[in-house]
Amino acid sequence: MDKMENIKPKSNFLKRIYLSFIMFFLGRAFRSSNIDKNIKKQILQLPENFSFCLKIERANIDLIIEKKNNRFIIVNSKSKRDEDIDLFIIFKNIERAFLVFTFQISAFLSYAQNGLIIKGDLQKTMIIMKILTLLEVYLLPKFIAKRVIKRYPKWIFFYKLFNRFLIYFRIFIGI
């Protein structure tokens, strides 16, 4: 028997579980994101039925989002062919995704370090990255968000608090 058959690369099970959870969470966050007027303004710049896929290479983790009626919906990855997706934002490997989703580095820095592969229109990529940044303001405590956001926005405290509550509420309820 070929001894190479016994050599099996190990998968990092815990990181995969964590990233799968984050992608699920992020999908719901995108779905709730139109609550904020700044995010809504960004969504309006995308064409209707525009779809994008956030994917972690070699980890079988992906998230497909589509714009319908000026808000985002989550699309089942089995129901959409790759050719029908307008934009792919792909993390090259599980480690690069883990750095971004444990908020050690920003998505922009990962992009600048070639940790992300973009396939599609760069202008629309910028819009998605901007939305992701704004979502981070709502989803993360300020001291963590400040590490991954170039400039923390100066929003009215109660406006941010109210929207944060609404976004979290919709994430947990799943609407």
Partner 1 sequence: MYFEFYNPVKICAGDTALSNLSNELEFLNCKKCLIITDNGIEKSGLLKYVIDSFYNANVKIGDIFTDIPPDSDKDVVNKIADIYREKNCDSIVAVGGGSVIDTAKGVNILVSENSSDLMKFCGANILKKPLKPFIVIPTTSGTGSEVTVVAVIANRETNSKMLFLSPFLLPNVAIIDPVMTLTLPPFLTAATAMDALTHAIEAYICIGKNMLSDAYSFSAIKLLSKNLINVVKKPDDRNGRLNLALASTMAGIAFSNSMVGLVHTIGHSVGAICHIHHGVAMNILLPYVLEYNLPKVGNYIGELLLPLVGEDIFVVTPTNERPAKVIEYIRYLQKNLFDLVKLPRKLSETGKVLESQFEEIANLSLKDASLAYNPEDADIEDIIEILKKAF
Residues that bind partner 1 (CB under 8 A): 45, 96, 108-109, 111-115, 117-123, 125-127, 129, 149-151
From the CB of 150, what's the least distance to partner 1, in Å? 4
Task: Return d(Cα 103, Cα 97) in angstroms, integer.
Answer: 10
* Sign of the torsion angle spanned by Cα atoms 139, 142, 145, 150: positive
Q: Which burial class, exposed, middle or buried, applies to 24 when counting CB atoms under 10 A from its CB (0-12, 13-18, 19+)?
A: middle
From the CB of 40, what's the least distance to partner 1, in Å? 16
From the CB of 4, what's the least distance to partner 1, in Å? 29
Judged by CB, which is closer to partner 1: 129, or 171? 129
Q: Which burial class, exposed, middle or buried, applies to 77 when counting CB atoms under 10 A from its CB (0-12, 13-18, 19+)?
A: middle
Judged by CB, which is closer to partner 1: 74, or 109? 109
Judged by CB, which is closer to partner 1: 112, or 161? 112
